[in-house]
Amino acid sequence: MNLNDLSSLMERRQDGGLSFERFRADPVLAGLQWPDDVLRDFLFEHGDHSPFVDDYGHLDLSAITWTLETIPTADFYTMPTGESEAGLIEHFAQHPVYWVTVRPPGVGRHWEEHGTWLRPPLLIDRRLLNLGSSGLQVLEGRTRVGVLRGRLREQLHAAPEHQTWVGRS
């Protein structure tokens, strides 16, 4: 199963008649066994976003297992995102305080108190994208990773490690 196989589900979601609860209960998704956070951020929110589909539409979704992992801050310094949105992380990194202030107030408080994001972003093992690749790539959460990079550059409080959802085969 890949993103194109979910086109009718995405159309129903676009029409506004499909809440996340009804979306995740759809029989076509039953075999995925993904955490709700991943289903929401990957499929419900971005499953039909054109650049996202360009970068990840070929993935066999049923071959991905998601685990909550703690990743060192240093790993995020140069971690890429998909080719279709290359440069987006650095765009957010240029103004980290701004990108936090346009979010709900709890997001900014969490950054100040804990030096990390409130909700874990999604990273993917690059070997799923290209067998010759290695390392992790930001699948969803480019703003969060950009804010982290910007906070580091501006010497604002940042934790030494961060929780993320990581997709691996």
Residue 161 confidence class, pLDDT cut points 50, 70, 90: very high
d(CA 3, CA 10): 9
Report the predicted TM-score, pTM, of the whole model to 2 decimal places.
0.93
Classify 123 as helix, strand or coil: strand
Evaluate if residue 52 carries a pLDDT over 90: no
Contact between 118 and 148 (Cβ < 8 Å): no
pLDDT band at 63; cut points 50, 70, 90: very high
Map out the domains of the chain as residue ranges: 3-61, 65-168
Show the tokens assigned to 117.
């994001």
